[in-house]
Amino acid sequence: MYWFIYFLISLVAAPLLVGIINKVKAFFAGRKGPRLLQLYFDIFKLLKKDRILSNTSTIIMEICPIVNLTAVVVASALMPIAGYPSPLGFEGDIILFFYLFGLGRIATIFAALDTGSAFEGMGASREAQFSAIVELVIFTIITFLALISTGGFSLDLLLDVSITNTGVGLAITPLLLITLAFLIVLLCENCRVPFDDPETHLELTMIHEAMILDNAGPDLAIIHYAAALKLWTMSGFLVMLILPKLIINGFVTVCCYIIGIIVIGAFIGVVESILARARFVKIPQLILSAFTIALIAILLHSIFRY
């Protein structure tokens, strides 16, 4: 029941997170910034508009935004919250969880290539490159979670007990390192600074935005919403990773998690305000450094355990 409430909240509140990030960025820049609910207005406005498709495009372009949305929604339905596993969860759902994001990504890449635009091809190419390497980091993180797991391989078992398993004190360092690695993954997967600048206006420097140049109206609304929901879900994953198991009261738990997600949103805002977008050639190095961090975490954990 609490899980269901949380799921509904996350479906509704997901665009809010983007608003929070933008508010924080505006605060750092000394601007007033867009309203907190700006993305809701944008989505609502776009939904009312006509659908425009390119002459070149085919059925791929028509269905891919919906495939993307479906994948992200189902993935977010797999996320548990502390003590309340998702009714869809099963052993190994963590693989499905990340592969569903993969489905959304390949749908976006196909749609981008469908238009035959040079910029969209460029964006798709970059996305394909970075996501291939990010996959490496994600599964290293899952390996770490499996190592500290006490038996059982479902999202809720892996995430829920993470801090209780490593213990406190020095033994917590590997978990902190893993959190850092996942934070880098989160920034990359959701196209935030320093991997991609969501606010850039130059097509040549875009990744995600370049891939959706030819989407308009309801399609664009769907893509914006899916991106926001993905950010929310992955932030939820990060919160689960660092927060200890809370079995107090269902309502309090849900509140704690939502507050955690908001804090992460604010943190992303701070990161975006103080960092510049990295050069494209540097990005693989950044992702590989996350991979190294995750590997070090695994090694440290092995050392502490034995």
Partner 1 sequence: MLITTIILIICGVFIPLAINKNSRLVNMFGAGSVITLCASIACIMIQRLFSEVNYQTVTNFFAIPIIILGIAGAIHSIGYLRGHWEHKRGLYWALYFLTIFGMFSVLEQFINQNIISALLSWEMMSLASAGLVGFDTKSKLSQRAFWTYMLASNAGAAFLMLMFASADSYPILCIIFMLIGFGLKVGFPILHVWLPQAHPAAPAPVSALMSGAMLNLGVFGILLCGTIFGRDHYSLIGYILVTLGIIGSVGGILFALAQRNIKTLLAFSSIENMGIISMALGLYFITIGYGACLQSCYLALAGAIYHIINHSILKGGLFLSAGSIYKQTGTLNMEELGGLMKRMPIIGRCFAINSVGICGIPPLNGFIGELLIYVAAFYGVIYGNTCIAAISATIAIMLALTGGLACAAFSKCFGACFMGEPRTEKAEKATDGSPFMTIPVVVLTLLTIPATFLAPLIFRAINNAFGHPTFMGNVQILNCAVMIIVLLYMVFGLFYFVHNYILPGGRKIRRGPTWDCGYAKPTARMEYTGTAFAQPLVDFFSPFLRSIRKITRVKSNLFPKEANYSIETKDAGTGLFWDPIFKCLSKIFNKLHELQSGSLHFYILIMVIAILIMLIWGFAF
Q: Which of residues 232-271 bind partner 1 (CB under 8 A)?
A: none
Q: Which long-range contacts (CB under 8 A, 24 or more apart) does 239-243 make?
A: 239/264, 240/79, 240/80, 240/81, 240/82, 240/159, 240/160, 240/162, 241/159, 241/162, 241/175, 241/178, 241/179, 241/182, 242/162, 242/163, 242/175, 242/179, 243/82, 243/163
Provide the mask over 41-80, with x wherever binding to partner 1 is found by CB under 8 A and - wherever it is not: ------x--xxxxxxxxxxx--x--xx-xxx-xx---x--
Q: How far apart are CA 302 and CA 208, in angstroms?
A: 38
Kindly state the tokens that stand for 60.
């791929």
Amino acid identity of 140?
A: T
Among 39, 43, 79, 134, binds partner 1 (CB under 8 A): 134
Collect all residues with Cβ–Cβ distance below 8 Å to 170 and sequence separation of at least 6.
304
**Total residues at the site for partner 1 (CB under 8 A)?**
77
Distance in Å, CB of 249 to partner 1, minimum: 29
Distance in Å, CB of 267 to partner 1, minimum: 26
Among 203, 205, 273, 296, binds partner 1 (CB under 8 A): 203
Distance in Å, CB of 265 to partner 1, minimum: 26
| Binding to partner 1 in span 95-124, by CB under 8 A | 95-96, 99-100, 102-103, 105-106, 109-110, 113-122, 124
Kindly state the tokens that stand for 88.
């869809």
Measured from the CB atom, the residue of 165 and 179 that comes closer to partner 1 is 165
| Binding to partner 1 in span 145-184, by CB under 8 A | 146-147, 149, 151-153
Q: Are 53 and 72 in contact (CB under 8 A)?
A: no
Among 17, 191, 290, 298, binds partner 1 (CB under 8 A): 298
* Dihedral (CA of 1, 243, 15, 190) sign: negative
Q: Are 97 and 79 in contact (CB under 8 A)?
A: yes
Measured from the CB atom, the residue of 38 and 129 that comes closer to partner 1 is 129
Distance in Å, CB of 7 to partner 1, minimum: 13
* Dihedral (CA of 76, 82, 88, 92) sign: positive
Binding to partner 1 by residue 293, rule CB under 8 A?
no
Distance in Å, CB of 186 to partner 1, minimum: 17
Distance in Å, CB of 22 to partner 1, minimum: 25
Measured from the CB atom, the residue of 218 and 260 that comes closer to partner 1 is 218
Distance in Å, CB of 58 to partner 1, minimum: 4
Distance in Å, CB of 172 to partner 1, minimum: 20
Q: How far apart are CA 195 and CA 191, in angstroms?
A: 6
Among 5, 26, 136, 270, binds partner 1 (CB under 8 A): 136
Among 10, 22, 76, 131, binds partner 1 (CB under 8 A): 131
Q: Are 235 and 17 in contact (CB under 8 A)?
A: yes
Residue for token digits 């059925």? 59
Measured from the CB atom, the residue of 109 and 227 that comes closer to partner 1 is 109
